[in-house]
Structure 1
Amino acid sequence: MSPPTPSSSNPTTGGFSVPQPGASLLLSFSFRPSPYSQPAPFFILGSGPLAAQRAFAAIEANASVVILGKGNLENVCEELRWRVNHGQVSWVDLDQFSDITHDTELVNPDLVDTFALDKYFSGLPPSVSPKFLCITDTLLSTTTRRSRASALSIHTLCHSRNINVNTTDYPDLCDFSFATTYRFPDLPVISGGSSSAHLPTNGGALQIAITTNGQGCRLAGRIKREIVTRLPRDVGKAVGNVGKMRALAKERDRDAKQMFPSIFGFSGPSTTEDPEELDPCADTDTAPTPNSPIPQRPGRTVFIQENGFSPDGETTADRTRRRMKWVAQISEYWPLEKLAAMTEKDMKGYLEDEGAETETKAEVDPSVTPIETRSSCMATTKSELPPFSVPLPPQTSIHSIFPSPPNTIKPGQILLIGSGPGHPSLLTIAAHRALTELADIVLADKLVPAAVLALIPSRVEVVIAKKFPGNADRAQQEMMERALREARKGRCVVRLKQGDPAIYGRFGEEVLYFRNPPPRSPSTTTPAVDHPPLPPTLVIPGVSSALAAPTMFDIPCTQRGASTSFLITTPVGKGGKMLDMPKYERSRTVVVLMGVARLRSVVKTLIGSGKDADYPPYVPIAIIERASMPDQRVVESTLEDIEHAMESAEVGAQRPPGMMVIGWSVSALWGDGNVDVLSEGDDGEGETSGKCASEGTGILREASKTIEAEFREKNEQEMKQSEGTKIGNSEDVRRVRNWLGDGVRWRVREGLASTWDLFNIDSE
């Protein structure tokens, strides 16, 4: 992967990205009527097949379409004539507004339609004042093509009336253009209720648009087809399901408000606000990250109290905000195929307040037969038998003359597996076999990428943890309880985590829970049941993202001459508590996991107040997102500029999951290399020089002290020369300037090298 050109090399740009002219501002318009105004019609000049295409696109956008032509409907193409006759579009004959027989000045035929349009527009009421006009009869391939002089005259008229114009095959006479689009079908949500009956069955909410900025319309069509064929066939249904889920996230609280109008309120400036308006960034692309930290919910709630608060202290508005954030998380992390397969029952379950599932009746009541507890939505096991179908041993008396039958329930097994940083080829062989051959059910964390989940056979049930903001602790408990229940049924349970499970993966909590399980689930009040002990949990290590992610961008955690050690930490403690960050050591690389959402507080803590133990503001930092995935990205900057970089137009929204790498190793391998950061005697491998090592530890210790003292004195002198500020070390500032570029404050690199295609793994 070749490094991209830096954003800017000119100090006068302030380090911000330099706009590159020639692009199009891609906007999407909807002409749906609102309670406050009626959208102006969409006007189309022309009556051929292209006009029919433009009309159809406008109709699908809920626009009121007006076709402007000449003569009667016999001169109109068949499709437009049908739509006019069936009331889908309106027809205006411009000949009715032409007056050339009484005005000798209108001898130029190129001005006839201009004056007719001017007269027609002048007679329109303000409520239907035109905003868009599409001229379609300038198509190059037609024999009756409108002249350029006529098109230019109409374009000038429209500009005088603030009307945006699109002129076919005349790019210089276009204020807007039409992208090559595709609309994915959006099938109804599978549900027994009537609430999903309104969803369309052909055209859906998802549309994609491709533009070549006028450089190749035919090629744009081909690129569109390439993209469409590479997306899942039911991706449109996934979008429809997310839309339905967003409505369900607000539906319960809206219904409760109607039930208790005098006591049920939303916190905010107005009690009549839509719950979604209370948090406009809950499920849009304007939020920098869907992982914005919010307090953990301490308790569980199953009903709404009449005072407007839930038993765990949440107001109704807080609960609605939380649900909308959960929808955003599901949209961000879950595989498209899983989103498309959601039923309305699934959606309500994902948004349910209760965190953990209850135990099934069969687990606590041996008298219940297996058929009464069978779940129709569960996948079959490798023996093609549904779960819960293992026969339970009958109850026998100790005085019976018949021997008790042997216990036919096979012992279950829990496998705790690390999925690596993301690319399926970075799975270990053991993890791959567990997922593809051994698993009966997979309980996956939300950060496990879809490419890894795609390797799991379709016969295996996959459950994704609801570790959304404010719900991590509940979701963790839910997954541990589920794993234990499934293993007690004799199933092979794969608990799938990203990276390595022992690196901030709650590995210890789960091992201890499975080793010493509680006598009964805290989510049920039924009597405890004695279960045979399970085999020890098998932990399969994974490639840690903390090490793999920097390597994907040629950033070493240790490098001779730049870093002699590295430290992995996180700013997030139990219950979301902010933790202390490590102090600055010049020779150490710090890898920060789960901290990008708290970037501002992390940077503020690191830079501090300028004390010796604080980080200089010019220290390099890299934020790595979605490492080893096709859309992987790294943003490289300094501590003082990284916030501005992440908020810049060039970077846009964050792409979770992300991590930070802080220290001089970030810039060590850029270009010709920058491996002279540390003192000459430190080779980065614990030796100062061959001579010192041969003369014994005493001399080595003295040499180290001398080097350290000289280095400290040099730094102190440079700090004083810079008036005591952290901008001080002139040599380090030079290093940063050589690394990023003179006047450049950050760099963005993205994309996975095509060579990685050699290691793709085909799914079932």
Structure 2
Amino acid sequence: MTSCSLQSRLRLPERLLILTAVTGTSSRPMVSPSCNSETRGFSNPHTGGSLLLSFSFRKSSRPDPQSAPFYILGSGLLAAQRAFSALEADASVVVFGKGGLENACEELKWRVHHGQVDWVDLDHALGHHNNADDVFKSDTADASALETYFANLPSSVTPKFLCITDTLLSLPTRRSRASATSIYNLCRARNISVNTTDYPTLCDFSFATTHRFLDVTASSSSPSSQPSTSAGFLQIAVTTNGQGCRLAGRIKREIVTRLPRDVGRAVGNVGRMRALAKERDAKFDLEKASFPNSSITEDLDEIDPCGDTDVASTPNLPVPQRPGKSCSSTKMDGTTLDSEPTAERTRRRMKWVAQISEYWPFEKLAAMTEKDMEKYLEDEESEPEGASATTKEGSPHPTLSPPSIHSIFPSQPNSSRSGQILLIGSGPGHPSLLTLAAHRALTELADIVLADKLVPAAVLALIPSKVEVVIAKKFPGNADRAQQEMMERAVNEARRGKCVVRLKQGDPAIYGRFGEEILYFRNPPPSSSTATNLPPLPPTLVIPGVSSALAAPTMFDIPCTQRGASTSFLVTTPVGKGGKTLKMPAYERSRTVVVLMGVARLGAVVKALVGSGRDNGDYPPHLPIAIIERASMPDQRVIESTLEDVESAMESAEVGAQRPPGMMVIGWSVPALWGEGNVNVLGGDDDGEGGEDAAKSVNGNSELHQTTEGGHHQEEKSEMTNRENLQTVEDIERVRNWLGDGVRWRVREGLSPAWDIFSL
């Protein structure tokens, strides 16, 4: 992020951001340009960005970017991610691999084939063709190969950066520390900065977790027009300095989702307005011949590249104004406007840009046209319609820091009433989706809240500060013990006369251990902390919640049942008690399958569903699937693909890290409401409401599957095969119409701004 005064605006929770992915329709959230058949689903880099290092590969800073290539050692997914980031910074990327390009990941192969990345085989550099296992046995072999490569570079090429990616902890053939050290020492001797994955002591620089705001605009004034996307100028980066990479990603998402959806466009417009100010002043001086032509450029170059920071720390100080069109052009000091030096005049304009950056709404900045910018620069003394200038001091609603949810001062027991346990579902995440009963319990009745770890902060923020909040310590491997601790705590607090709210995500009866807790609270076992002679507690009151199994698909216009696409739905999970793998249900064309708690096991789930691809119970590989993450929250996201491509989608640079909690929706209901709709999947006389001919959709109950007598058996079997083949062709065409020709996945992200009216 630059140091422009606009930066100070990017810190308040305003609007929800909708980002990334592929083409859509005007009825859908805003999405980015499509991946076509030539890209094989991989995102093309939007060049012109920065790696967020103190170094730029842009042509404006170096006469030839090829003179300082960005080197990457390794050929896996991490190497592909590093290459994509470098390409967005206009770098020339060279990848060192082993075992030939055929052993590289699919994305790197594609980028090498299309000339985006150069490939160097280290085995050839070594002068032999040993396999990767043999080469890894030598701790100095690769360092020697790199030394030979660097020594033979032209004198005009100066290596600056090298990323070693094949030291990732999870790699089965991880590079040894000794080998990485040899390479690191070689680079240090050549003044090459090194980043070595998972070896922090062998790093001269590190990568922050970043986000780039694309500049999304409507392609025309028509309400049905598709959005167009260009490279964005605004980037943010978060680093925890090696203390928690996953936490850095979460913090980045929190920042991103609290910024307005048009903030990238606003930054681009402010930059264009600054450029226009300089261009207009340069043109003015050329016309008036106030300065020699050579001095104009020099004067403008002397102005700070972020010249709109040339303003006092408080933005309330007035900006020097130019006389209006009806006023005299003579300034108070006796000089005229025409004689004002170019640099001074441009600097004054920059101060004006700083003012509007500070006070105008982001929506106003994002909506500016070039004609508007010229008008604002020409007539600076008048405030254009729609601009605002309010100060924090004048705000009637000051922002307060939320109270801590880890209070060490529990509320005192209430001896005037008996205790009570309320088992509550918090819904999918958005506070407005709480039931009225749940909202009252949290805000008025609770003395203590025992919450599951997946309950979002937005719901916890509703709880008064006087109420103690305890978050379940359900880290991996501790779920059962944490569950037991929460149940024991609930009973103990209720017996002290407190109203205990046991807060769960979604609906407590859907994979929420609802039954275990009801039985435990009904008859808790004796323990050292509970007396056996105490009277039984009042029956636990269960307040249902909106289940994410139904709410999450709805947030993205995916129905679980839809006439013509799905007559029923099934909720399941691949994970049983103690992590045991469960059997997945067989395929039925007219049924939607919702899979909870399975995204982390995506590969195994897909393999179990697709199977051999021949049995009646196997799912077709082209069947649509949606992976929905953090439904109803500001950073909600859906990845839409097919069973055969969804793993590649989740590993792509476009998707990046997962955002738990996530779930899967599988079946023909996924594309049913996309665009103009696709609700003729089942065909026949099936209306999606259990009609008597619903089974005629070529599934296990089809009449074509009935065994007939005599010579008709073979004829009907052949007819069945032909019908199935025809249906497969039609289904593949449906998927192509849904995703786009050659497109393998789509990413949609963010909560519609319309949800702002339901903020609590």
TM-score (ref. length: structure 1): 0.49
Give the structure with higher Rg (CA).
1
TM-score (ref. length: structure 2): 0.50
- Larger relative contact order (CA 8 Å, sep ≥ 6): 2
